[in-house]
Structure formats: C-alpha cells, structure tokens
Amino acid sequence: MRSQTFVLHAVVALQAALGLLAVAPAVQAQSARSGGGANAQLMQQMQQLASERTSLQAENAKLKKDLEDLRKERDTLENGQQALDKKAKASEAALRQIPASSRSNQPIARRQGCPSQIPRAGSASAPLRCFPRARRRRL
C-alpha cells in the first residue's frame, strides 16, 4: 500500500508540475502583450509615413513635369537662336557681296537719287533733305 500511495502521490505531483509548466508560458505571453500602446504608436507612425510618401510622390511628379516644360522651352529658344544666327550669317554674306562703292558714306539724298538738293563740297550750309514732289490734284 505504501508503494501504491507513493506512486499515486508521484503521479499527482507530476500532473501538477506539468500543469504549472503549461500555465507559465501563458502568463508570460499576457505580460508581453501589455505594451499594446506601442503597437498603436507604430501604426500611427506608419500611417504618417505613408501620407508623407504620397505627398512627396505628388511633388516629385510635379517637379518632373516642370522640368520637362523647361526643357521644351529651352529647346524652342535654342532653335530660335540658331535661326537668328543663320539669318545674321546670311546678312553678313549678302553685305560682303555688295560692292564697296555702294556702301560708302554718301549723303542720304544722293543715295536716294536727289542730286539737285545736295550742297556742293566745301559749302558751309547744312545738307538738304530730298522730298518727293507733291502731286497736284486736278479739279
């Protein structure tokens, strides 16, 4: 009988020990979950970061569009500058082809074909302007 009682007590003690081991992890898990406020704080930070990311993506898209617009404007200005450079070179080439005698510093009236109104060399009077003759109206 004593051996049966001892075995019975050993079995009960073993069951109690196993029961305590099964309850101990549950108690630790409950104490670890007590920091639920930190979880909520992390969620709030994640939402804030997602919002900032969205606004930065929108700003980035706007800046890319502005950059593209500025590049197009720059290209247009460069093309206009090239056209002006070509026109200037063509004008210079045309000016070189004109004889030097035509480009001399003659008075305006002589170049316009009004030789009668140009004062003679050595005259002290100011040069006259050449005006076309007024047409008379017939009545």
Query: pLDDT at residue 5 above 70?
Result: no
Other beta carbons less than 10 A from residue 127's beta carbon: 13
- pLDDT tens per residue, range 37-62: 889 999 999 999 999 999 999 999 99
The number of beta carbons lying within 10 Å of the beta carbon of residue 10 is 10
Residues 89-109: tens digit of each pLDDT: 999 999 888 876 666 555 554
What is the pLDDT, as a whole number, of residue 38?
A: 86
The per-residue pLDDT for 90 is 94
- The radius of gyration computed from the CA coordinates of the chain, to the nearest angstrom, equals 52
Q: How far apart are CA 20 and CA 12, in angstroms?
A: 12
